[in-house]
A and B are shown apart, each in its own frame.
Chain A
Amino acid sequence: MPTRSGQLSVAGHLSVTGLCRRFGEVVALDEVSLDIAPGELLTILGPSGSGKTTLLKVVAGFEKPDAGRVSVDGQDITAMPPARRDIGMVFQNYALFPHLTVAGNVAFPLEMRNVGRAEVARRVGETLALVELAGYGERLPRQLSGGQQQRVALARAIVFNPRLLLLDEPFGALDRKLRETMQLEVRRLQKRLGLTTIFITHDQEEALVLSDRIAVMNRGAIQQVAGTMEIYERPANDFVADFVGESNIFHGTLTEPGIVTLSSGRRLLVNRDGKVGDRLGVLMRPERFADKGANGFAAEVVEAVYLGASLKLRLACEDGLELVVRQPARGKLPVAGQRLEVGIDADAIHVF
Chain B
Amino acid sequence: MSRRLLVVACAAIYLFLMLPLMVVFPISLSSAPYMQFPPPGLSWQWYDRFFDDPQWLDATWRSLYIGSATAGLALALGVPLSFSLVRGRFAGRALLDRLALAPVIVPTIVLSVSVYGLFAKLKLIGAWYGLVVAHTVLALPFVVLVMGAGLRDFDRSLEQAAEGLGASRWRTLRRVTLPLLRPSLVSAGLLAFISSFDELVVALFLAGPNMTLPKKMFDNILMEIDPTIAAVSVMQILLVVLVLVLIGRFGRGLGGANMSGSAR
On whether the beta carbons of B167 and A99 are closer than 8 Å, the reply is no
- A245 near B: Cβ within 8 Å? no
On whether the beta carbons of B165 and A99 are closer than 8 Å, the reply is no
- B155 near A: Cβ within 8 Å? yes
B161: nearest chain-A partner, CB-CB:
A95
How far is the CB of B86 from the nearest CB of chain A, in Å?
19
Point out the residue from A82, A86, A112 that lies within 8 Å of B160, measured CB to CB.
A82
Chain B, 161-180, contact with A by CB distance < 8 Å: what is the 0/1 string? 11111111001000110011
Interface size classification for chain B: 20 to 34
- Cα A142 to Cα B259 in complex, Å, equals 11
B158: nearest chain-A partner, CB-CB:
A95
On whether the beta carbons of A112 and B166 are closer than 8 Å, the reply is yes
> Which of chain A's residues have a CB closer than 8 A to the CB of B260?
142
How far is the CB of B43 from the nearest CB of chain A, in Å?
49
- B157 near A: Cβ within 8 Å? yes
Point out the residue from A89, A112, A157 that lies within 8 Å of B167, measured CB to CB.
A112
Point out the residue from B163, B175, B176 that lies within 8 Å of A82, measured CB to CB.
B163
- A297 near B: Cβ within 8 Å? no
Q: Which of chain B's residues 119-174 have a Cβ closer than 8 Å to chain A? A: 155, 157-158, 160-168, 171
- B263 near A: Cβ within 8 Å? yes
Among B157, B166, B167, B168, chain A packs the most CB atoms within 10 A around the CB of: B166
- Cα A62 to Cα B162 in complex, Å, equals 12
Chain A, 83-108, contact with B by CB distance < 8 Å: what is the 0/1 string? 11111110111010111000000001
Interface residues of A, dominant DSSP? loop
On whether the beta carbons of A113 and B155 are closer than 8 Å, the reply is no
- A289 near B: Cβ within 8 Å? no
- Cα A108 to Cα B171 in complex, Å, equals 11
Point out the residue from A62, A93, A113, A142 that lies within 8 Å of B164, measured CB to CB.
A62
- Cα A140 to Cα B262 in complex, Å, equals 13
> Which of chain B's residues have a CB closer than 8 A to the CB of A92?
157
Q: Which of chain A's residues 151-166 have a Cβ closer than 8 Å to chain B? A: 156-157, 160
Chain A, 284-303, contact with B by CB distance < 8 Å: what is the 0/1 string? 00000000000000000000
- Cα A89 to Cα B155 in complex, Å, equals 16
How far is the CB of A63 from the nearest CB of chain B, in Å?
10
What's the A-B contact tally at a CB cutoff of 8 Å?
Answer: 65
On whether the beta carbons of A156 and B165 are closer than 8 Å, the reply is yes
How far is the CB of B228 from the nearest CB of chain A, in Å?
46
On whether the beta carbons of A99 and B263 are closer than 8 Å, the reply is yes
Q: Which of chain B's residues 97-129 have a Cβ closer than 8 Å to chain A? A: none
> Which of chain B's residues have a CB closer than 8 A to the CB of A44?
none
- A315 near B: Cβ within 8 Å? no
> Which of chain A's residues have a CB closer than 8 A to the CB of B160?
60, 62, 82, 91, 95
Interface size classification for chain A: 20 to 34
> Which of chain A's residues have a CB closer than 8 A to the CB of B165?
83, 88, 108-109, 112, 156-157, 160
Point out the residue from A87, A93, A140, A157 that lies within 8 Å of B263, measured CB to CB.
A140
A157: nearest chain-B partner, CB-CB:
B165
Q: Which of chain B's residues 157-205 have a Cβ closer than 8 Å to chain A? A: 157-158, 160-168, 171, 175-176, 179-180
- Cα A82 to Cα B68 in complex, Å, equals 39
- A337 near B: Cβ within 8 Å? no
On whether the beta carbons of A87 and B179 are closer than 8 Å, the reply is no
- A328 near B: Cβ within 8 Å? no
Given A93-B157, A95-B155, A112-B171, does the pair A87, B164 have CB atoms closer than 8 Å?
yes
- Cα A130 to Cα B94 in complex, Å, equals 50
B179: nearest chain-A partner, CB-CB:
A99
- Cα A99 to Cα B262 in complex, Å, equals 9
- A81 near B: Cβ within 8 Å? yes
In the A-B complex, list the 6 residue pairs whose CB atoms are closest, starting with the nearest: A112-B166, A109-B165, A95-B161, A95-B157, A99-B263, A82-B163
A sample of 16 more A-B contacts (CB under 8 A), given A98-B180, A112-B166, is A61-B163, A62-B164, A82-B163, A83-B167, A88-B165, A89-B161, A89-B164, A93-B157, A95-B160, A97-B161, A99-B180, A108-B165, A108-B167, A157-B165, A160-B165, A160-B166
24 A-B residue pairs with Cβ-Cβ distance under 8 Å, sorted by A, are: A1-B166, A61-B163, A62-B160, A82-B164, A83-B167, A84-B166, A88-B165, A89-B164, A92-B157, A95-B160, A95-B161, A97-B161, A97-B162, A97-B180, A98-B180, A98-B263, A99-B179, A99-B263, A108-B165, A109-B166, A112-B167, A142-B260, A157-B165, A160-B165
User: CB within 8 Å of B: which residues of A?
Assistant: 1, 60-62, 81-89, 91-93, 95, 97-99, 108-109, 112-113, 140, 142, 156-157, 160
